[in-house]
Structure 1
Amino acid sequence: MHGVPSPTQLLKDGDASACVSRQYTGTAGKVTNCQVGVSLHLATDRASAAVNWRLFLPQSWDPASGKADPPRVARRERCGIPADLGHVEKWQLALDMVDEARSWGVHIPLVVADAGYGDAAAFRLGLNERGLHYVVGISATLSAQPGSARPSTPPYSGIGRPPVARYSDPAKSAKALVVEAGRNAARPVSWREGSRPGRGRTGFKRMYSRFVALRIRPAGRGVRDATDGVELAECWVLAEWPAREAGPVQFWLSDLPVDTPLTTLVRLAKLRWRIEHDYREMKQALGLAHFEGRTFSGWHHHVTLVSLAHAFCTLRRLARAPKEMAAVRASTRSSASCS
C-alpha cells in the first residue's frame, strides 16, 4: 500500500469553527472562508481509504505567529484547540501522519502527492531521510539541471576561500527541459480503466496518453546542491504530453530507480485520482462537509466516523464477485444513459 497525503477544503459560512480562515479552495475555485483538512490515504491499484487526519491551523490562529489575529486567538479555548498546538505547514503534517502510520506497523514503501507537497523541497528531503520513495506532482517552473550535468570546481588562485563546485549553466525549468527533449520523446502509455464504454475485456475504455520521462537534477531553494559543495541528486521528471497539445501539461518528480519502467512511473503518478474519488464519495454520500460543530476534537471525531463509513463501503465493494461488479457497472451505465 502506498501513502497518499492530500488536503481538502470544507466551506464555512461563519468564523466560529476551529481553524476556519480565508484560504484558497479548489472546491470554490477562489479564496474563501473554509477549514482545511490534511488526510493520509493508503492506496493500491484497486482501492484506497483515509487512515489519518489533521486539521490545518492557519497562522492567524497561532498566537506565536506574526500574522496572529486576536479575535481568532481568543476563540482557541472555546474551540478546544490544544494550548501547545501551533501553525505547521501542510507538508510537515503529511510527514507526521506518515510517521504515525508507520508506528502502527503499516508498511508504506512509496508516497504519492500533488504539487502542493511536491514543490516543497523539505517534504521530498523528509521522505528521503525516512527511506521512502516518492512520486509527487510539481509545478512546471521547478528549476533543475539535466541529468547529464556535472558540477566543476573553478581553479583556485590561492587567495581567499577556495571555490566550491558549481554547475556551469544556470538551472532551467522542468517544462523547458521536457520541451527541449521534444514531442518525439513522448511515448504512449495506458494505465487503468476509465468510465467510458469501450470494446475492452471489461466493457470500458482504458485511460491513455503520451508521456516523457527524463533524468534531471532538481535545484532551487531548499535543495542541497553544488553551491554547497554537494552534487544535485538525480531523479525522474515525468511529463504528460497529449498528442493534441502543443506542449506538456502536467509534471511529476520521482526518486525511483533509474531502471523503473515508464508504465510504472505513469501508473503511480496517476494513482492520486483515487483520493479525489474518496473525497467525492465522503463529501457527497457520507457527510464529510456537513459537520456543524465548532470544536477541534469534534471535527476529528466527525472525519474519523466518515472515514470508517467510507472504509466499510470500500470493503463491501471489494468483497463483491467480479461478475457482480461488472453487472453493477453495466446497470449504472444503462441508468445514466436513460436519465
Structure 2
Amino acid sequence: MTQHQNETAASATVDDAGHDRAFGALLASLSDCFARSESRETFARMTRGMLMELEDVNCWSLAEAIGERGPHRLHHLLSRAVWDEQAVLKRTAAWAVDLLDDGDGILIADETGDAKSSTDAVAAARQYSGSVGGVDLCQVAVHLTFATSAGHCLIDRRLYFTKEWAGDDERRELTGVPDELCFASKPQLAAHMLRAAHQQGISASFFLGDEVYAGRELRTACRELGLGYVVGVRSNHQVTTPAAKLSVTQAAGRLPKRAWQRMQTGAGQKGIRDYDWAMIEVTADDTPDGHDRDAGTSVLLVRRHRYTRTVSYYRCFAPGPVTLARLVSLVCRRWRVEDDFQDAKETCHLDKGQVTCWNSWHRWSVITMVAYAFLAVTAALERAAQAGRNDPAEADLVPLSSHELLRLLRALILPPPRRDRPHLLWWSTWRRRHQHRARLCHRNWHTYADTTP
C-alpha cells in the first residue's frame, strides 16, 4: 500500500513533458532578442547547461557538458554577440510575474556579493558583503525579487560600483563600462529597478528592504510609484511622533505594556516563532511633491524577541489603512530575497561567473536568472497544483522545493552532460594545449619585463 501511494504521489508531482514544453516555450519567447540564430541556439543550450549537474561551472565546463568543441561560442555569446540581454531579462520577468501574480505582489531589494581573486573584474573592490562574511575583494549587485503567496523569483539586478571604482577611468575603459554610467548608491539602484518594474507594468503593493534601503530618497520614490513600504531602520533613526521628535529607541522605550502584542511569525525547525510587536504612529517625512501630506498610514513597527528582548525597528507606510498583522506578515516575507539568492547560487550558479567585463557580467547574470526563473516558477506552480488536488497520497509530503524539482528535471528532462570517451579526450587535449600556451605567454612576459629598462 505504501509503495502504491509513493508511486501515485510521484506520478502526480512529476509532469516532465509539461515542464519540457514550458521551458521550450520560455526560450522560444525570447528568440527575437537575438540578431542571429547561432547566438539564440547557443543561449538556449547554455541556459539548459546551467541546470545540469556539474562539479564546477564556467564557460569551459559548460561548453564541455553541452557538447561544444571549445568554449569559444560561449565566450562570444557573453562578450561580442549581438543580442539584447536587457530585453531577455524583461520578458523573463514578465513571464514569471504573470504566472505568480495573485493580486498582492511585493517587491524586495537586497544585495549579494561574489568573492573575486583580482581587481581586473568589473566593479571588483574591497567592500563589505554579508554573503562573503565581511569586507573582502568582491563584486556586489543589488537584486529585485517579486514575491506573492504562490512563489517568488529574481526579476532584475544592478551591478554596484564603489565611488573609487566608478571614478577610475582606466579600469572603466578596460572592462567596457558605458561612459554615461556614474556612481549610484545601493538605494538609488533599487529605485531605478522599482521605476523600471513600474514602467514595465509590474504591479505590486509594497516594497520591502533592510536598513540599507531605508533612506528618505528611496522611500519617497516608493510613494511616487504608489507603493507602500516596510524597511528596517537602525536604532538611531529619528522619527516624529505626535508627542515629540525621538530616536526609534526612545520611542519604543515609551511604549506601555499594553501596547505589545505577541504574534506568530512562522514555524522553524525548533517550533513556532513568536515575537512581541508594537505599532507607533509617526509623521511622514517622505511625502513627494504634489502629494497630500496626510494621506496614507505612516507608522513605526517595533519587534521584540520574547526571550532575549532584542529589539528591531521598521519604518512603514501604506497608501491606505493597514493592520498590525499585515505589517508583521510583510516583515516575515522580506526573507524571500535571501531564499532566492541561496537557491539561485546553489542551483543556477548566479555567483560562478568567471567574467571580467561589463557585457560578460550582465549576460552571465541574465542566463542564470532565466534558468532560475523557470525553476522557481515551475516549482511554485507544482506546489499550487499539489494543494489544489488535495490528494490523500500527497498529504504526508512537504511542498516541492526548487532543489527537489531540479533533481527530477536532471533525471527526466535535461540532457545529461556529454561524457563519451572521444569527447572527454578531446577536451583533455584542448585544456592541456591551452594551459601550455598560457604558461609560455606568462614566461615570455616575465622575461620581457625583467630585461626591459
**TM bucket, shorter chain:** 0.7 to 0.9
Provide the C-alpha distance between the structure 2 equivalents of 1:122 and 1:48, rounded to a whole number of angstroms.
Answer: 26
Q: CA deviation at 1:259?
A: 3.8
Q: Is the 8 A contact 1:141 1:173 kept in 2?
A: yes
| Equivalent residue, structure 1, for 2:275 | 209
Pick 1 or 2: higher relative contact order, CA cutoff 8 A, min separation 6: 2
CA deviation profile, 1:108-132 (whole Å, cap 9, x unmatched): 22211111001x1111112122222
- State the partner residue of 1:23: 127
- The answer to whether the 8 A contact 1:183-1:241 is kept is no
Q: Does 1:125 align with 2:214?
A: no
SS at match of 2:374: helix
How big is the shift at 1:29? 3.1
The answer to whether the Cα contact below 8 Å between 1:291 and 1:299 also exists between their aligned partners in 2 is: yes
Q: CA 1:82–1:260 in structure 2 vs 1: closer, same or farther (change >3 Å)?
A: same
1:35 matched to 2:109? The reply is no
TM-superposed CA distance for 1:41, in Å, is: 0.8
Q: 2:320 and 2:251 mapped to 1: Cα distance?
A: 18
Structure 1 residue 329: Cα displacement? 5.8
Q: Distance in 1 between matches of 2:367 and 2:156?
A: 12
Shift of 1:234: 6.6
Greater per-residue strand proportion: 1
Q: What is the 5 A alignment of 1:128-207?
A: 128-146=223-241, 148-149=242-243, 171-192=245-266, 194-196=267-269, 205-207=271-273
Deviations 1:217-247 (A, max 9, x none): 366xxx68xxxxx99997111111122134x
Name the SS of the counterpart of 1:49 in structure 2. Answer: strand
Give, as a single letter, the amino acid of the residue that structure 1 aligns with 2:354. E
| Counterpart residue number, 2:170 | 74
Equivalent AA in structure 2 for residue 3 of structure 1: L
Query: Tell me, which stretches of 5 or more residues in structure 1 are unaligned?
Result: 63-67, 150-168, 198-204, 225-229, 333-339
Counterparts of 1:85 and 1:99, CA distance in 2: 17
Cα distance, 1:30–1:191 mapped onto 2, change above 3 Å: closer
- Match for residue 212 of structure 2 among 108, 116, 127: 116
> How far apart are the structure 2 equivalents of 1:315 and 1:45?
12
Aligned to 1:280: 342
| Residues 129-162 of structure 1: CA deviation (Å, up to 9, x unaligned) | 222211111111101122x24xxxxxxxxxxxxx
Query: 3-state DSSP class of the match of 2:282?
Result: strand
Change (3 A) 1:26 1:5: same
Q: Deviations over 1:181-213 (max 9, x none)?
A: 044422111243x3427xxxxxxx443321111
Is 1:243 the equivalent of 2:306?
yes
Per the TM alignment, residue 48 of structure 1 is displaced from its structure 2 partner at its CA by 1.0
Match of residue 200 from structure 1:
none
CA distance in 2 between partners of 1:185 and 1:111 (Å): 26
Letter in 2 for 1:196: Q
Q: Out of 372, 392, 397, which is 1:327 matched to?
A: 397
Task: Note the alpha carbon deviations across 1:18-55, whole angstroms, 9 max, x for none.
Answer: 01111111123321111110111101133211111111
Question: How far off its partner does 1:106 sit?
Answer: 1.0
The amino acid that maps onto 2:106 is H
The reply on whether 1:47 has 2:155 as its aligned counterpart is no
Contact 2:297 2:318 in 1 (8 A): no
Residue by residue over 1:242-295, the C-alpha shift from the partner in whole angstroms, topping out at 9 and shown as x without a partner, is 22134x521111112674111101001121111111111112232111110101
Distance change (3 Å), C-alpha of 1:29 and 1:325:
farther
Q: Residue 145 of structure 2 contacts residue 154 of structure 2 at CA under 8 Å; is this kept in 1?
A: yes
Q: CA deviation at 1:96?
A: 1.0
Q: Deviations over 1:304-330 (max 9, x none)?
A: 122222222222322141364851469
Distance in 2 separating the partners of 1:103 and 1:233: 23
* Identity level (%): 24
Q: SS where residue 241 of structure 1 aligns?
A: strand
Is 1:268 equivalent to 2:363 in the alignment? Answer: no
5+ residue gaps, structure 2: 1-104, 288-292, 404-453
CA distance in 1, matches of 2:131, 2:118: 17
1:288 & 1:330 partners in 2: Cα distance? 22
Cα distance between partner residues in 1 of 2:284 and 2:237: 8
Paired residues in the alignment total: 286
- Cα 1:6–1:326, aligned 2, differ >3 Å: closer, same or farther? farther
Which residue identity lines up with residue 222 of structure 2 in the other structure?
L
Counterpart AA for 1:93: L
Choose from 82, 101, 104 the match for 2:200: 104
| Rounded Cα–Cα distance in structure 1 between residues aligned with 2:273 and 2:127 | 33
Aligned alpha-carbon RMSD (Å)? 2.7
- Structure 1 counterpart of 2:345, which letter? K
On the 8 A contact 1:191/1:263 being kept in 2, the answer is no
TM-score normalized with structure 1 length: 0.77
Q: Is the 8 A contact 2:296 2:319 kept in 1?
A: no
Give 1:97 shift: 0.8
Which residue matches 2:108?
4
Asked if 1:291 is matched to 2:353, the reply is yes
Partner of 1:92: 188
Distance (whole Å) between structure 1 residues aligned to residue 152 and residue 312 of structure 2: 23
* 2-structure distance, mates of 1:42, 1:263: 21
